[in-house]
């Protein structure tokens, strides 16, 4: 690192002194350097960007909010900790930033002309303006118990691989704590301590990984547990003794190391000594600032995490803007131009502010969002203008956007889109919410009825919003409940009747395999499957035989309501399932009042009875039922398309794998040999294209998509973070090297001259620079004739079935194969 | 639900096709009365010969198409056609000869073709017969899984045997080190390993069991159980190798025969031009 220091013979004078060389400080200093303004960047530690240097080794650093443009001379995009730091180190030299390391500022005094900064070394620095960019990490929260500063009690973790065969207690249930614990568990005995009863502040991917690790006994966890003290012991085997208070009482844990990850707080005492005021006594409160980031001390500006902007990109933009503000130049927010472009579609909107106000007024769902939240939301959404008759989406499409109506009316068609619409939606209402929940095909067709302005938001954006805003989630849930009921059984009901029917309705979740009710239970209501699927079974000859299965968007449990008898079947969640339960009394009352509803449920009941008594099922159910149960157990209940191999004619030639590899850059995305077998049917390791893909849950670049035909695929924005690999419960996603320079093997070269590998084999090792990205089956969606694996099976052993077909397949197979 | 395999592809499309072709060929042969008797040089002989040669080329192309993973049509359709057309060749080629055989390249080509088709019949039998048996033998496991389990049992057996008398230790060590799964071609095809050290070890341990002179009865019983488990696994692994070799062995003949046929056929066709 090039150190540009000045001789400390006399007090130094600068126009701007920037304290703290994190993202915002570096960005401010780079902008000042770029403009040729005299400046100094003071860093207490021996390296710039100390906080990011302390991230876990190899950590992927996100560039959120994704759509926000970066406005800084310093570069920043999503990447590993190491790559970002290397780039910054280069740029510090490139811009000639006047950086002084090891310069801890102890005092800031306001003088008639600017400020005097006192350093710990005794030197003083004069500056006209001060930008405080010290973040929060200088004030990490400690355990606050006796022994908190003992050696081996640490508040950060750089490289988890440094530790081996230790008992390590990780304190803290946030993402950092969980990530640390997970990374340490491979080589150590890890105990994670969380003072809450759940991991509420944790990303879904981390939570899933944690649950798996706990289930497999790879680590331990104590919930609702507080640390009381840490003592060092003379015992060489366990140098620390940690005392914690659990719900069952005090527990003493002998260990080698305690790693506490409890977050950080503003260094209030220090800031107050600089004359900065806080709006409240809350220790987490940040200083009050003007719109130009100026504190109550004129000339003293605060940016970055300390100003309440914890995200790196926001902080870097602030660093740029604060310099502009100091120079007295007007500067508009970084996203202003983009937002202006979006609002240009509304002719009577002239400014972004006006546009945001319009959205708030027209769409109650978004009314409670803060300015910053709404701007971020708008950046990722689009305004769509439609003419009467334009189709937004069609029934059975696989699209997942969410829509709010800013202006106009849309028609909703449940079955026949050429007939009259079933109902309308008006300005301020929203639709497409089922796409957020079940990942199934669209259940309706939506067309513009008048000239319309819609706000179209990607699924991922909506999910993030519903996760952070409880009010938004509640509003969507309430509307979606009513719509689900309306679509599936209540089209003939009036609005008042519908309200009555859904009152007291409950959402309930079931884990895979959990029994919803047993044969013989009292009937408590009508069940609508919101996501997942349910297997309906009956005891035949002492064995539980699956008779049918109910997929998302359908209902079950009408039989007992109509006959007034206890449950005659057992209902069991085939996969993680969410249902809506309508109270039995209300359904019964509604059936009496509304003959259409009675007719509908009755028809469904008769159809079910007929189906179950039909000769096929009854004759073969005892055995094919078990095949159905097996397939459901393999996750076919949530699949939309699954590869099966009929082992009675599979000659193990591996042509399916070779075809897959030859079609996809040399890496097969299916493994024929692994996967369970039942009755000579193997479910190989290959993507099931789940209705609600687990892999999509936490994809930072939103690279996992579902095509209109239903294939779940990964596009080329994948960054290889591996979240999907962890999240897939069926182990069918892998990280593979992609190397565009690598040539596929030639069939003729191999056949005639024996040169190179056989087609479908490995095309040589990828080059050193090849990056790894996630790959999975995409059902060869770009090939006209369908998946290569099935087309290349010489005997017809490989087949693909949808959930609608697999029941038929099981029955057919029993009758043919015996 | 219609599950199409290479046998019933498109409701036996190619079986129906060749039945018609065979009927027409036999009919034509019966009606055709050439003045010099039936042989390959009559107009019908040329028609049947050309047809047979064209079919042979189409059948050879299967080897290419199998590796063109994005080629035309479904591979099971190609295999279905390959099998039925191959069977039909027996009729077409035989009629083409007019039952005129001799010690020459023409009859050699015919003989190779007949061998190839018969070999192919075995292939169809193998494809329909052995896959089911392989799964019945292996279940969810792969051969590698079995080998891993065997290696784990070996490790356990060795630790147990270390604490037992030397002669037992020696037998167990021998069983661990010298038990073979595959072996030579004959062993692979028969699945028989008469001198299997694991079987020998189990036998010896069983005999010791009748006459327990040494201590550690618990250790001994555990070792016996381990070796017994290993013997079962070894038997399964060997059966897998055997079934797979039965499934694949014919291909080692099918491909060279096909190449030989191509050579003989080329010679046969070239020679015919000299008769003109």
Confidence of residue A620 (pLDDT cuts 50, 70, 90): very low
Predicted local confidence at residue A763, as pLDDT? 55
Q: Where are the alpha helices (DSSP H) in A394-469?
A: 434-437, 459-468
- CA of A675: which chain B residue's CA is closest? B140
Does A700 score more than 80 pLDDT?
no
A645-677 pLDDT per residue, tens = 999 999 999 999 999 988 888 888 888 888 888
Highest average pLDDT, of A233-242, A593-602, A639-648, B82-91, comes from B82-91
What span, in angstroms and rounded, lies between the C-alpha atoms of B203 and B197? 10
Would you say residue A632 lies in a domain?
Answer: no
A630: contact with B, CB 8 A cutoff? no
Whether the per-residue pLDDT at B127 is higher than 90: the answer is yes
Task: Report the C-alpha gap between A270 and A275 in whole angstroms.
Answer: 9
Assess whether A367 and A239 both reside in one domain: no
Binned at pLDDT 50, 70 and 90, residue B199 comes out as very high
Say how far apart CA B49 and CA B31 lie, in whole Å: 18
Cα torsion A123, A124, A130, A135: sign: positive
pLDDT (0 to 100) of residue A10: 53
Q: Are residues A437 and A553 in the same domain?
A: no
Task: Provide the pairing of β-strand A423-425 with A410-413.
Answer: antiparallel
Query: How far, in Å, CA of A23 to CA of A20, rounded?
Result: 9
Task: Determine the structural domain holding residue A113 and report its residue range.
Answer: 12-138+266-326
Same domain, A118 and A161: no
Average pLDDT, chain A: 84
Residue A546 has pLDDT above 60, yes or no: yes
Regarding whether A616 and A662 lie in a shared domain, the answer is no
Domain shared by A509 and A616, yes or no: yes
Residue A490 included in any domain:
no
CB–CB of B69 and A793 under 8 A?
no
Confidence of residue B215 (pLDDT cuts 50, 70, 90): low
Last residue of a domain, one of A214, A233, A260: A260
In eight-state DSSP terms, residue A119 is E
Residue B21, both tokens: 């072709």
Most confident among A83-97, A240-254, A283-297 (mean pLDDT): A83-97
Let me know whether A596 and A519 are in one domain: yes
Between A231 and A699, whose confidence is greater? A231
Q: Mean pLDDT, to the nearest integer, of A236-253?
A: 89
Find chain B residues with C-beta within 8 A of A655's C-beta: 66, 75
DSSP 8-state symbol, A710:
S
In a domain, A146, yes or no: no
Q: Which residues pair with residue A403 across a beta bridge?
A: A431, A456
- For residue A484, what pLDDT band results from cuts at 50, 70 and 90? confident
Q: How many CA atoms lie within 13 A of A772 on its CB side?
A: 9
Contact B69 A792 (CB under 8 A): yes
Q: What is the CATH number of the domain that holds A102?
A: 3.50.50.60
Q: Looking at residue A153, what is its pLDDT?
A: 94
Residues of B in contact with A676 (CB under 8 A): 140
The answer, yes or no, to whether residue A6 has pLDDT greater than 50, is: no
Inspect the interface and report whether the beta carbons of B74 and A808 lie closer than 8 Å: no
Residues 762-801 of A with CB under 8 A from B: 783, 785, 788, 790-797, 799, 801
Residue A549: which CATH number? 2.60.120.10
Determine, yes or no, domain membership for A507.
Answer: yes
- The b/e string for A628-647 (b: 16+ C-beta within 10 A; e otherwise) is bbbbbbbbbbbbbbbbbbbb
**Residue A64, pLDDT above cutoff 80:** no
For B:211-250, CB contacts with A below 8 A are: 244, 247
Q: Is residue A279 part of a domain?
A: yes
* A396 and A426 co-located in one domain: yes
- Name the pLDDT band for A4 (thresholds 50, 70, 90): very low
What integer pLDDT is reported at residue A287 of this predicted model? Answer: 85
Greater model confidence, B27 or A471: B27
Q: Which two tokens stand for residue A259?
A: 């790693």
Cα separation of A301 and A633, whole Å?
60
Instruction: List phi, psi (to 5°) of B33.
Output: -125, 80
Q: Is A643 on the interface with B (CB under 8 A)?
A: no
Count structural domains, chain A: 5
For residue A610, is pLDDT > 50? yes
- State which of A326, A351, A370 marks the end of a domain: A326
In a domain, residue A36? The reply is yes
- Return d(Cα B26, Cα A25) in angstroms, integer: 93
Domain match, A752 and A665 both: yes
Q: For residues A49-62, give the mean pLDDT.
A: 82
Asked whether residue A767 is assigned to any structural domain, the reply reads: yes
Sign of CA dihedral A173, A177, A182, A186: negative
Check whether A490 has a pLDDT greater than 80.
Answer: no
| pLDDT reported for residue A615 | 42
Tell me the chain A residues in contact with residue B142 when contact means C-beta distances shorter than 8 Å: 673-674
pLDDT for A215 equals 79
| Residue B240, pLDDT above cutoff 70 | yes
Instruction: Give the mean model confidence (pLDDT) for residues B137-150.
Output: 89
Contacts of A760 in chain B (CB under 8 A): 67, 69
pLDDT digit string, tens, across residues B148-157? 999 999 999 9
- Quick one: A60 and A126 in the same domain? yes
Same domain, A48 and A20: yes
pLDDT on residue A307? 82
Return the number of CB contacts < 8 Å for A and B: 96
Q: Which residue of B has its CA nearest to A659?
A: B69
User: Does A782 reside within a domain?
Assistant: yes
Interface predicted TM-score (ipTM) of this complex, two decimals: 0.91
- Rounded average pLDDT over A514-525: 89
Select from A455, A472, A489 the last residue of a domain: A472
Task: Give whole-number Cα distances, B118 to B88, B94, B227, B253, in Å.
Answer: 12, 14, 43, 11
Structural contact between residues A391 and A380, judged by C-beta atoms closer than 8 angstroms: no
Task: Name which of A129, A154, A22, A160 is nearest A85 in CA terms.
Answer: A22
Residues A320 and A342 occupy one common structural domain:
no
Task: For residue A3, give Cα distances in angstroms to A48, A87, A102, B71, B76.
Answer: 11, 17, 11, 64, 71
Which pLDDT belongs to residue A9? 42
Same domain for A510 and A441?
no
Quick check: A298 pLDDT over 50?
yes
More confidently predicted of A2 and A101: A101
């Amino acid at each position: 690192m090039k150190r540009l220091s000045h001789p400390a013979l006399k007090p130094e004078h600068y126009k701007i002194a920037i304290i703290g060389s994190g993202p915002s400080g570096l960005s401010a200093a780079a902008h000042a350097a770029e403009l040729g303004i005299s400046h100094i960047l003071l860093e207490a530690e021996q390296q710039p960007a100390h906080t990011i240097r302390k991230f876990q080794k190899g950590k992927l650093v996100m560039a959120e909010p994704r759509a926000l443009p970066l406005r800084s001379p310093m570069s920043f995009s999503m990447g590993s900790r190491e790559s970002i730091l290397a780039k910054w180190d280069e740029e510090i030299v490139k811009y000639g930033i006047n950086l002084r390391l090891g310069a801890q500022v102890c005092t800031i005094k306001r003088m008639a002309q600017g400020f005097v900064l006192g350093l710990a070394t005794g030197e003083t620095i004069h500056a006209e303006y001060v930008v405080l960019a010290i973040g929060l990490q200088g004030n990490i929260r400690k355990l606050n118990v006796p022994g908190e500063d003992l050696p081996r009690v640490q508040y950060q973790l750089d490289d988890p691989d440094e530790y081996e065969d230790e008992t390590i207690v990780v304190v803290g249930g946030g993402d950092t704590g969980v990530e640390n614990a997970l990374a340490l568990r491979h080589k150590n005995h890890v105990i994670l301590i969380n003072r809450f009863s759940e991991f509420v502040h944790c990303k879904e991917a981390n939570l899933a990984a944690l649950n798996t690790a706990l289930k497999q006994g790879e680590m331990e966890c104590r919930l609702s547990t507080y640390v009381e003290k840490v003592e060092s012991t003379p015992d060489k085997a366990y140098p620390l003794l940690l005392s914690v208070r659990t719900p069952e009482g005090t527990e003493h844990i002998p260990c080698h190391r305690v790693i506490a990850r409890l977050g950080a707080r503003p260094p209030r005492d220090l800031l107050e000594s600089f004359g900065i005021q806080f709006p409240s006594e809350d220790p987490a409160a940040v200083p009050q600032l003007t719109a130009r980031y100026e504190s109550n001390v004129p000339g003293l500006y605060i940016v970055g995490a300390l100003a309440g902007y914890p995200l790196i990109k926001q902080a870097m933009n602030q660093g740029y803007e604060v310099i502009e503000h100091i120079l007295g130049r007007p500067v508009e927010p970084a996203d202003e131009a983009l937002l202006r472009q979006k609002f240009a579609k509304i002719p009577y909107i002239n400014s972004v502010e006006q546009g945001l106000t319009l959205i708030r007024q027209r769409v109650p769902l978004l009314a409670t969002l803060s300015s910053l939240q709404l701007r971020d939301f708008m950046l990722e959404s689009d305004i769509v203008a439609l003419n009467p008759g334009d189709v937004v989406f069609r029934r059975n499409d696989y699209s997942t956007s969410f829509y709010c109506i800013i202006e106009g009316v849309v028609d909703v068609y449940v079955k026949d889109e050429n007939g009259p619409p079933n109902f309308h939606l008006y300005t301020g209402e929203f639709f497409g919410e089922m796409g957020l929940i079940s990942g199934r095909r669209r259940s309706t067709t939506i067309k513009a009825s008048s000239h319309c302005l819609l706000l179209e938001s990607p699924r991922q954006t909506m999910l993030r919003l519903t996760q952070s805003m409880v009010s938004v989630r509640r509003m969507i849930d309430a509307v979606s409940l009513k719509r689900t009921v309306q679509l599936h059984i209540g089209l003939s009901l009036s609005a008042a009747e519908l309200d009555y029917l859904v009152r007291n309705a409950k959402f309930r979740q079931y884990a895979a395999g959990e029994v919803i009710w047993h044969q013989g239970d009292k009937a408590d209501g009508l069940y609508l499957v919101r996501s997942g699927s349910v297997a309906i079974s009956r005891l035949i000859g002492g064995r539980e035989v699956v008779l049918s299965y109910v997929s998302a968007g359908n209902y079950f449990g009408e039989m007992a309501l109509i006959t007034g008898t206890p449950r005659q079947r057992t209902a069991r969640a085939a996969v993680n399932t969410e249902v809506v339960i309508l109270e039995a009394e209300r359904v019964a009352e509604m059936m009496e009042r509304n003959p259409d509803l009675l007719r509908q449920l009755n028809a469904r009941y008769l159809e079910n009875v007929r189906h179950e008594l039909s000769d096929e099922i009854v004759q073969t159910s005892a055995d094919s039922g078990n095949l159905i149960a097996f397939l459901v157990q393999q996750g076919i209940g949530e699949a939309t398309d699954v590869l099966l191999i009929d082992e009675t004619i599979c000659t193990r030639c591996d042509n399916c794998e070779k075809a897959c590899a030859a079609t996809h850059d040399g890496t097969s995305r299916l493994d024929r040999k692994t996967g369970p077998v039942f009755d000579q049917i193997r479910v190989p390791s290959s993507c099931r294209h789940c209705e609600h893909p687990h892999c999509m849950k936490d994809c930072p670049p939103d690279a996992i998509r579902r095509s209109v035909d239903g294939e779940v695929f990964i596009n080329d924005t994948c960054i290889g973070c591996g979240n999907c690999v962890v999240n897939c419960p069926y182990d069918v996603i892998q990280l593979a090297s992609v190397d565009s320079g690598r040539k596929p093997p030639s069939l003729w070269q191999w056949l005639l001259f024996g040169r190179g590998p056989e087609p479908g084999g490995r095309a040589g090792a990828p080059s050193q620079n090849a990056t790894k990205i996630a790959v999975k089956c995409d059902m060869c969606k770009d090939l006209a004739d369908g998946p290569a694996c099935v087309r290349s099976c010489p005997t017809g052993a490989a087949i693909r079935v949808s959930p609608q077909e697999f029941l038929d397949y099981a029955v057919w197979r029993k009758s043919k194969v015996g | 639900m219609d599950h199409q395999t290479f046998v019933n592809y498109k409701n036996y499309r190619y079986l129906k096709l060749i039945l018609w072709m065979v009927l027409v060929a036999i009919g034509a042969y019966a009606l055709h009365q050439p003045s010099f008797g039936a042989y390959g040089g009559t107009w019908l002989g040329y028609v049947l010969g050309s047809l047979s040669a064209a079919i042979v080329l189409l059948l050879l192309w299967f080897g290419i198409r199998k590796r063109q993973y994005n080629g035309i049509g479904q591979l099971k359709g190609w295999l279905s056609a390959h099998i039925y057309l191959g069977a039909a060749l027996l009729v077409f080629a035989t009629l083409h000869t007019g039952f005129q055989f001799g010690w020459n390249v023409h009859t050699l080509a015919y003989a190779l073709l007949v061998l190839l088709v018969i070999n192919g019949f075995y292939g169809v039998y193998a494809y329909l017969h052995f896959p089911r048996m392989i799964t019945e033998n292996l279940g969810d496991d792969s051969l590698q899984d079995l080998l891993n389990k065997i290696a784990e049992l070996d490790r356990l057996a060795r630790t147990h045997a270390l604490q037992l008398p030397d002669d037992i230790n020696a037998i167990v060590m021998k069983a661990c080190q010298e038990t073979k799964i595959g072996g030579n071609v004959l062993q692979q095809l028969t699945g028989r390993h008469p001198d299997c050290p694991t079987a020998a070890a189990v036998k010896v341990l069983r005999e010791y069991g009748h006459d327990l002179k040494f201590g550690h009865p618990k250790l001994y019983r555990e070792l016996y159980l381990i070796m017994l488990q290993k013997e079962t696994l070894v038997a399964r692994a060997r059966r897998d190798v055997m079934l797979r070799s039965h499934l694949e062995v014919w291909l080692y003949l099918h491909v060279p025969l096909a190449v030989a046929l191509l050579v003989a056929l080329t010679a046969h066709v070239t020679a015919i031009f000299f008769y003109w």
